[in-house]
Amino acid sequence: MNELYNNYFQEINDIIWKVAIYVRLSREDEKDENYKGQSESIENQIIFLKQVVKNNNWLLVDIYKDDGYTGTNFNRPGFINMMRDIDKGLINLVITKDLSRFGRDYIETGEYIEKIFPRKNIRYIAVNDNVDTFDTKNSSNDITPFKAVMNDMYAKDTSNKVRTALQTKAFNGECIKAFLPYGYKKDSNNKNKIIIDEKVSDNVKLIFDLYISGKSKSQIAKILNEKQIITPLKYKKETSNYSNPNNNATYKWNATVINKILRDRIYVGDLIQLKSKKINYKISKTIKRPYKEYAIIKNNHKAIIDISIFNTVQEMLNKQTNEFNYSNRKKHLLTGLVFCKCGSKISYNLNHGRTSRCVCSSYKKYGNKFCHNIHLKEEDLINEVSKSLKNNIKRYLNINKLDFSSIINSNININKNNINFLNEKKDKIYKLINNLYEDKISGIISKDTFRVLIQKYEKEKQVYEEKIKQISNESYIRQKEIQQKIKNFEESIKKILKFDDLNYENKNLVCKLIDKIIIDDNEIIINYNFKVNN
């Protein structure tokens, strides 16, 4: 080791120096193009600093390390433990390999070196930067603030590079999420690619099926708990390096978890990222971005839930059709769809005969100064809506009149035009290749020129052939998808045509067909989602 350390600070050698070695390395340091590789690793920092302690006959108290923690703030477990031992009087000397290992925020770094450490009578040494706060003759101490500023600028530059790289990946459809929602996982061969997790994807389908069938979020949670189906939080903990900060987590399904799954568009194949951002590179707190700044990539990965089912669930969630009245713990068939003419939602009261009656929620809360009472039984309301639905379904829906040929033909024509365009390009390449052979035989071009050009044209020809093959394959798959969707749509229409009486089994169909029901005195006005002629 350099002779400098063998005779280091001889004028204060009578003090017993109780040393804390502090080492740090952040993920940003490792990723940065200027990163020095193994020379800055945690292990090498420790080896280097232990040798410094040994050469100076100092007493090593402990080694404090923060592996994977940024230097832009001092909320690091290793650093916090070191400061705790300093307050206990166990340490009077802190050494780091260089100033940047201590911290990259020039304000807080200066606060510790120039105020906190001197106040606690703590000596600080940054070996490679030749900084020693107890050496008053050391000129390197004078430029310590400038080095701290440079380290801060380095941290800011690194943060900008990392943020730009992540944004580029997000808008290119690459997954930058640390953890994926329940039902998906990262491809083992490509961490930026999303694939279905077959172990739990059926649980996601079950949740959507139960909600479509009329179950509330709380009821779904109860069913899943009774079936002892693993929760997203517990599954994440068991299958990843996720550490739950809440040690009291019960790992039970609840309405909040169910709602989060039902609302997430990732299940239809859409990837939405960059929903939040850090305030700046020094503060870990995040703020929500405006919607226009989101990175939204549609059809990014394979869907678990069909888009038509997802959209129906969103309508039901928005109208809260599956939630029941907590005052009497009774479910109501048309919850979320019925409104008073004043705009308030309709709730229900039970009279002495246990007959449920419609009541304006504003009248119920504020009395007749705001609205008036409604004299309509819930049973009569359901019968009237059911009757109107049956009449209009028979009148306006006829599966034999539905024509899907335009959808199929438009897809075929688009692919056909693309293939024709590529075939024309390929034919031109064939002609150029034939001309090359003729020019070679005629001696117009040399063998070397021929060889270069023929390789170029053969590659172009191969590219066009591969594109034609790709479009043909995609066209076949797309045709199958369209045919399946048409089949699913026809089956949905058949279910609607079989509609007999309004019940919880066909409630999701009602939500698709009816936008809103308005009660004006005792008159029932039904606004449909399809055009109805009066």
CATH no. for 3-159? 3.40.50.1390
pLDDT value of residue 226: 92
pLDDT value of residue 81: 94
pLDDT value of residue 534: 55
Tokens of 263: 């609302």
Domains in the chain: boundaries = 3-159, 172-318, 331-534
User: 62-65: long-range contacts at Cβ-Cβ below 8 A with a sequence spacing of 24 or more?
Assistant: 62/20, 62/21, 62/90, 62/91, 63/20, 63/21, 63/23, 64/20, 64/21, 64/22, 64/23, 65/22, 65/23, 65/24
Contacts of 500 (CB under 8 A, 6+ apart): 390
CATH no. for 172-318? 3.90.1750.20
Alpha helical stretches, state H, 172-281: 201-212, 217-226, 232-239, 255-263
Tell me which H or E stretch contains 195.
strand 190-196
pLDDT value of residue 220: 92
Which DSSP category does 114 fall into? I
pTM above 0.75, yes or no: no
Write the CA distances from 258 to 31, 99, 225, integer angstroms: 38, 49, 12
97 C-beta neighbours (distance < 10 Å), count: 23
pLDDT value of residue 74: 85
Q: Which of 114, 109, 97, 118 is nearest to 147 (CA)?
A: 109
pLDDT value of residue 8: 45
Each residue's pLDDT expressed in tens, for the chain with a length of 534 residues: 444 444 444 455 668 899 999 998 876 555 444 444 444 688 888 988 998 898 888 999 999 999 888 777 788 899 999 999 999 999 999 999 888 888 877 667 778 888 888 899 999 998 887 788 887 665 444 444 545 454 455 545 555 555 666 667 767 767 767 778 898 888 888 887 888 999 999 999 999 989 888 788 888 999 999 999 989 888 888 887 776 666 555 678 998 999 999 998 889 888 877 776 665 545 556 677 777 777 777 888 888 998 888 888 888 888 776 665 444 456 677 877 889 988 888 888 876 556 788 888 888 888 887 888 888 888 888 888 888 888 877 776 665 555 555 555 656 666 777 778 888 888 888 888 888 888 878 888 888 888 888 888 888 888 888 888 887 877 777 777 777 766 766 666 666 666 666 666 667 777 777 888 899 877 888 888 776 665
129 C-beta neighbours (distance < 10 Å), count: 21
Strand partners, 518: 339, 525
Measured distance CA(66)–CA(234) in Å, rounded: 27
Alpha helical stretches, state H, 498-520: 507-513
